[in-house]
Amino acid sequence: MGSDKELIARTQAGDLSAFECLFHKYQNQIYRTALGITGDHDMAEEILQDCFLKAFRHMNHLHGDYSLLPWLYRITVNLSYDYLRRHKWRSWLAPLEDFANCLIGADDSRVTSPEKQAEREELQALIRVGIADLNINYRVVIVLHYLQGFSLEEIAYVLDCPVGTVKSRLHYARKALKRRFEKNQRLVGEVVYEPV
């Protein structure tokens, strides 16, 4: 397939097959990030498409030593913000559960017993709804940090903001998820220990 540097150089020279190689190399990462942020398959595909069209258009600005992936993530996140702003009506029409259901695609191969599977699904559904319910700024850092494994510095580059801002957003996102989790645990507890 060739290194990014080589593929970028070939694309800059007008070789579309090199650009196709770049697309196939990174399409899943970009698509999953967009899906994690927007929670909408169609929108995520549109973002993926626009991201690569934009990348192709500006490919000549990339220098040989420039890293492609962080740049693609930056485009993806910016496009996600734009799409969510433009298609606000979609989020009004689609309830929160739909967003969470959209994220469901669990790999069930590791689950052995039906009880464990049910318990795990319940917890994950709770987390998914929690993530879907987060403000977009918090959701972006959660997706980049926990799905893509980005460091705080890398997220700061992608979002073009100070590391301190990333740190604080991550902190508040975790706090919000924890609050939701604890609240739910309390409700479950009350139901379980309710006197007969």
Partner 1 sequence: MNQCDPPKENAGPESTKDHLAECPWCAEEMAEDQELMGLIQQSLWDSLAHQSPSPEVWDRIRARLPERKQVRWSDRLVWTWPRLLSDAVVVGLLLALVGLALLRPPWASKRDVPSLPTASQTDDQVEWRGVEEQVPEHVHENGEPTVSAMLPGGTGLFDAMTSEGLLNVGYLYRLKRGPARWEGPARPGSAVTGGSGARNLLP
Listed in sequence order, the residues at least 6 apart from 183 whose beta carbon sits closer than 8 Å to its beta carbon are: none
- Out of 178, 183, 186, 187, name the contact with partner 1 by CB under 8 A: 178
DSSP 190: H
Nearest to 79 by CA among 146, 20, 158, 132: 158
Q: Considering only 2-10, 49-57, 75-83, 188-196, which stretch makes contact with partner 1 by CB under 8 A?
A: 49-57
| CB count in 10 Å sphere of residue 142 | 21
Q: Is 174 in the site for partner 1 (CB under 8 A)?
A: yes
DSSP 113: S
Amino acid 154 reads: E
CB of 98 to partner 1, least distance (A): 14
Q: 145: which 2 tokens?
A: 């940090």
Q: Which one, 178 or 183, has the nearer CB to partner 1?
A: 178
CB of 103 to partner 1, least distance (A): 4
Q: Is 114 in the site for partner 1 (CB under 8 A)?
A: no
- Out of 5, 23, 96, 161, name the contact with partner 1 by CB under 8 A: 23
Q: Which residues ranging from 66 to 95 are in contact with partner 1 (CB under 8 A)?
A: none
Q: Which one, 23 or 172, has the nearer CB to partner 1?
A: 23
Which DSSP helix (H) or strand (E) runs through 123? Answer: helix 114-133
Q: 96: which 2 tokens?
A: 């929160």
Q: Which residues ranging from 119 to 138 are in contact with partner 1 (CB under 8 A)?
A: 123-124, 127-128, 131
- Out of 105, 113, 115, 195, name the contact with partner 1 by CB under 8 A: 105
Count how many Cα atoms sit within 13 Å of the Cα of residue 166 in the half-sphere of its side chain.
20
Q: Is 156 in the site for partner 1 (CB under 8 A)?
A: no
Write b or e for each residue in 26-53: b if 16 or more Cβ atoms lie within 10 A of its Cβ, otherwise e: bbebbbbbbbbbbbbeebbebbbebbbe
* Chain positions contacting partner 1, by CB under 8 A: 16, 19-20, 23-24, 27-28, 31-32, 35-36, 41, 44-45, 48-49, 52-53, 56-57, 103-107, 123-124, 127-128, 131, 142-143, 146-147, 174, 177-178, 181
